[in-house]
Amino acid sequence: MAEFIAEMQERLLPEYEQMKNYSVFTADQVREIVSRRERLFLKINKSHQSITDYLDFILYEKHMHMTIVDKEKKMHVKLTGLKASIATRIMRLYREALAKFNHDRRLWSNWIKFSKKSNPVEVAGIYEKMLLYHGDSPDLWVDAALWLYEFNRLNIDRVKDILLRGLQRHPDSEALNKCFFDIMLKEAALANNERNLAENTLSEQDIKLERVEAVYRNSMANITQLDYFVKLLESCEDHQELTGKLQRMIIDDMQEKFPREPGLWDLLAQRELRGFHLGDLEEEDLDTSDEEPASKKSRSVNGRSLKRRIQLCVTVYKSAVEELQTTEMWNMYLDAMLALNSDGKTERILKQQCLADALQAGHRSQLMGVKHYATLRKMLCTAPSGREAAVTILTEALKNDSSVEMHELLLATHIQSDSEPLIYELFNKIQKSMGSEALPLWRSVILYYRTRQDSLGARRLDEIYGLACKAAWPEFGELRSDYVRYLWQERSVEEARKEYAKLAVLPPMSLALHRQMVQLESSAAACDQASLKYWRMCYDFMACYFGKTQPRVWVEYLAFERDHGEAKNISLLTQRALSTLEPQYVAAFEAERALAYVGASI
């Protein structure tokens, strides 16, 4: 082993000499490098090796390579030989490591990544070796084919071989089939489009387009997802002048396979908007003139105006919603019209009219969702007499969708119009027909009446808060806290205390209610020491109803007695806490109590 290491180090002597001669490193640094490499050589040559041993060596050499590159820039000298020597050693280390640990896919990927920068000629061969062990991943076949094609397009036969082998193992891989399709399409675009008239044959480009069609046909037998066909069409759009016939073929197949798929109709409508009119493809199919090759005929995107493209797009969407009559299709139609209106620089009036028409039709269909009703309401409420129309539409919509969100839209419209009788009427319907999920609606109604600041608002608030306080839903506990705070701030302290005393014993119990009252009483006690008994009563209620499972309640009670109450109560209160808490919470109480006292002393 020692002789082998010595021999390896001897081979590196020219490298060390270069480091010294070019003053890349000092003599001490070179000795450190020699020593470090000797230890790394020992690790990879021991009887029981691990992948970590090789990784340490590779990372060290990569760091060395980067250091040499930095030195080159700073010293303005070329150290090509030194860099090449290190790169060769890294490649050899990867090779040795993967011969022993070929299961590690990440190591293969790192080798390829390094080789692409330092030795790109070797990358294709590395991919071939990697696929022997990890050919179960379609993405690796795609990566190999794309690299080989982009590195040297003259390797097209080898690229096709890789893709065909990959498809043998993964015939239903969308990524592999799409990659094959794209590469063959690029080859067709680069091919000569001149027809050989002497032999009356197809042009080279037409032949290659037939191969693209063959690739597509083969993939159809194994792939049935709409997204795959959509991606193929997008690729064809990049070569619109060549692919008219192929696009028509793909669209026909999609219409046959997915006639009731909303995504297909959405695609066709969006293509019309981008200028890819379906009628142009049909006209091209009908044009069978042999006077010039098909590849030289005009197949560019028809230069229609934006106005015409919008009209064609809307026509397709209208046909779609009429044919399918589903919520999903209506959502796609309406989302498309909203997206169209995001740019108001051109054809603004037409776009707004298309959106308005779509929203009105969506309402009539009874398939429109809350999000789009919100848009319709916003549009209507900007008009002088639009709020009445919004109320009528939203009231009709509630018959089919009685969700909280839909009620929120109608309630917001009434509030915007300040229609108190309608707000009160809607609230009564809500509180009778809906459960705890209606809490946001209660909050909105309460906020409306609080902002009125009049006697009617006060009466309504007492009524609404009274109903909320009697509700058995735990979620409504926060409204009890709000009511006590409202009485304290807007009415009187005595009225708030009286109501709190009632609510404190009324199920369902709410810890938030007691903490709210503690906060209010603390502000009063700062000015009036007589309020301490009311403050202490809040803690008594908390300890009574939550003292078994809430250690924090007792810690807060003790802190109150320590800082504001009577210190003599602390010992008795502590014993009460220990006897009241369930056994599993005692340790938490002791810990929190200790922390609280430490914090107070600090």
For the cut 70, the answer to whether the pLDDT of residue 349 exceeds it is yes
pLDDT tens, position by position, 297-329:
444 455 789 999 999 999 999 999 999 999 999
Q: What is the mean pLDDT of residues 243-263?
A: 94
CB atoms near residue 72 (< 10 Å): 17
Residue 597 lies in a domain: yes
Tokens linked to 508: 């369902």
Distances (CA, A) of 539 to 210, 316, 547, 548: 85, 68, 10, 14
Q: Would you say how long the chain is, in residues?
A: 602
pLDDT band at 539 (very low <50, low <70, confident <90, very high): very high
CA pair distance 148, 419, nearest whole angstrom? 71
- Are the CB atoms for 343 and 379 separated by under 8 Å? no
pLDDT at position 248 is 94
Residues whose CB falls within 8 Å of the CB of residue 505, separated by 6 or more in sequence, listed in order = 541
pLDDT at position 601 is 46
pLDDT at position 278 is 86
pLDDT band at 466 (very low <50, low <70, confident <90, very high): very high
- Are the CB atoms for 142 and 166 separated by under 8 Å? yes
pLDDT at position 6 is 61
pLDDT at position 196 is 61
pLDDT at position 93 is 92
Residue 495 lies in a domain: no
Which DSSP symbol is given to 201?
-
CB atoms near residue 501 (< 10 Å): 13
For the cut 90, the answer to whether the pLDDT of residue 95 exceeds it is yes
Q: What is the mean pLDDT of residues 107-130?
A: 93
Q: What is the mean pLDDT of residues 542-547?
A: 93
pLDDT at position 295 is 46
Question: In 380-396, which positions are buried (b, 16+ CB within 10 angstroms) versus exposed (e)?
Answer: bbeeeebbeebbebbee
Q: What is the mean pLDDT of residues 143-152?
A: 93
For the cut 50, the answer to whether the pLDDT of residue 132 exceeds it is yes
Residue 567 lies in a domain: yes
pLDDT band at 526 (very low <50, low <70, confident <90, very high): low
In the chain, the N- to C-terminal Cα span, in Å, equals 65
pLDDT at position 296 is 47
pLDDT at position 77 is 83
pLDDT tens, position by position, 148-207:
999 988 889 999 999 999 999 999 999 999 999 999 999 999 988 876 645 657 788 889
Which of 542, 536, 534 has its CA nearest to residue 498?
534
For the cut 80, the answer to whether the pLDDT of residue 9 exceeds it is no
Which of 454, 426, 461 has its CA nearest to residue 441?
426
With a pLDDT cut of 90, the percent of the chain lying above it is 66
pLDDT band at 453 (very low <50, low <70, confident <90, very high): confident
Residue 94 lies in a domain: no
Measured in degrees and rounded to the nearest 5, phi and psi for residue 76 equal: 55, 45
CA pair distance 411, 444, nearest whole angstrom? 8
Residue 456 lies in a domain: no
Which of 491, 435, 493, 489 has its CA nearest to residue 459?
491
pLDDT at position 533 is 87
pLDDT at position 588 is 92
- pTM for the whole structure: 0.79
CA pair distance 463, 448, nearest whole angstrom? 14
Residue 177 lies in a domain: no
For the cut 90, the answer to whether the pLDDT of residue 215 exceeds it is yes
For the cut 70, the answer to whether the pLDDT of residue 146 exceeds it is yes
For the cut 50, the answer to whether the pLDDT of residue 341 exceeds it is yes
- Are the CB atoms for 386 and 394 separated by under 8 Å? no
pLDDT at position 19 is 84
Tokens linked to 197: 């008239």
CA pair distance 311, 316, nearest whole angstrom? 9
Q: What is the mean pLDDT of residues 216-220?
A: 94
Task: Look up the domain containing 565 and give its range.
Answer: 548-601
Which residue in the block uniquely carries the two structure tokens 């806290």? 481
Which DSSP symbol is given to 478?
H
Q: What is the mean pLDDT of residues 16-26?
A: 81
Q: Which of 165-169, 291-295, 356-360, 365-369 comes out lowest in average pLDDT?
A: 291-295
For the cut 60, the answer to whether the pLDDT of residue 250 exceeds it is yes
- Are the CB atoms for 244 and 284 separated by under 8 Å? yes
Question: In 178-201, which positions are buried (b, 16+ CB within 10 angstroms) versus exposed (e)?
Answer: bbbbbbbbbbbbebebebeeeeee
Measured in degrees and rounded to the nearest 5, phi and psi for residue 409 equal: -65, -45
pLDDT band at 17 (very low <50, low <70, confident <90, very high): confident
Residue 553 lies in a domain: yes
For the cut 70, the answer to whether the pLDDT of residue 99 exceeds it is yes
Which residue in the block uniquely carries the two structure tokens 């000797």? 38
For the chain, how many structural domains are there in total?
A: 1
CA pair distance 135, 170, nearest whole angstrom? 9
- Are the CB atoms for 509 and 472 separated by under 8 Å? no
For the cut 70, the answer to whether the pLDDT of residue 208 exceeds it is yes
Q: What is the mean pLDDT of residues 473-482?
A: 92
Residue 74 lies in a domain: no
